[in-house]
Amino acid sequence: LPGLHIFAITLALEVSVGKTNTVTALNNSNVLLPCTFTTCIGFQDLVFTWYFNSTERIYQGKIKNEATEPRLIWHNPRVEFVGSITKKDNNISIVLNGVEFSDAGKYTCHVKNPKEKNAQHNATIILIVVHKMVETDNTVTLIIVGVVGGLIGLLILFMLIKRVVLFIIKKTQDGKKECLVSSSGNDNTENGLAGSKAEQKAPPKA
């Protein structure tokens, strides 16, 4: 049924390694591999396992319930559990100590919850090991942004100047039209010009 299907999705077990699935570490350093899980109905005897390149187990723990911290089942000597369950964030992150170039690869966090009909879910994070950290040079980006911003500013200034000039020209033309209308409507009776309202004098009698 559709309703039961939606309910099942709501109760599904979810595992996450954060917003990004890639971590970069410096050779011979310690690196955090984050992982958290969520479940709507709680958990009991939950088992979580970390794998390297999908097959090599490097850490495994078991959590009795929400009130207890994980119990270690097996771990690689270089791997340390740094998460916490009792802090209500269901954090099962680990730290890999003394990272080497051979450690680069995929690390999968797998969770199995018997209380949820043995529901299983996992998430994978990719570890990149480098000889030295390289700072990102944003100089070119800043130059491009500055040039584009300057061009946009000049365009806006040009449009404003254009509007002002057009406004002044329009006002000037309107003023000239008013002068022409005013001069064409003047009364020329005093000047006695042709077509004026001044009476024409009769020719003198002989």
The CATH number for 66's domain is 2.60.40.10
The reply to whether 49 falls in a domain is yes
**Mind listing the pLDDT tens digit for each residue in 144-196?**
877 888 888 888 988 889 888 888 888 777 766 665 655 555 554 444 444 44
User: What is the per-residue pLDDT for 57?
Assistant: 98
Residue 119 lies in a domain: yes
> In this model, does residue 5 exceed pLDDT 50?
no
Beta strand residue intervals within 36-193, DSSP E? 36-38, 46-52, 56-63, 71-75, 79-81, 94-96, 105-113, 119-130
pTM of the model: 0.62
pLDDT of residue 108: 98
* pLDDT score for 183: 55
Judge whether 144 lies within some domain: no
Structural domain includes residue 109? yes
Whether 6 is in a domain gets the answer no
How many domains does the chain contain in total?
1
Reported as a single tens digit per residue, the pLDDT across 38-73 is 998 999 999 999 999 999 999 999 999 999 999 999
Nearest partner of 119 among 128, 127, 130, 110, judged by Cα: 110
**Residue 176 belongs to some domain of the structure:** no
Q: Is the pLDDT confidence value at 83 over 80?
A: yes
Counted residue by residue, the chain has a size of: 206
Q: Which domain holds residue 101?
A: 17-130
DSSP run (H or E) holding 16: strand 14-16
Q: What does the pLDDT look like over 86-115, one tens digit per residue?
A: 888 899 999 999 999 999 999 999 999 999
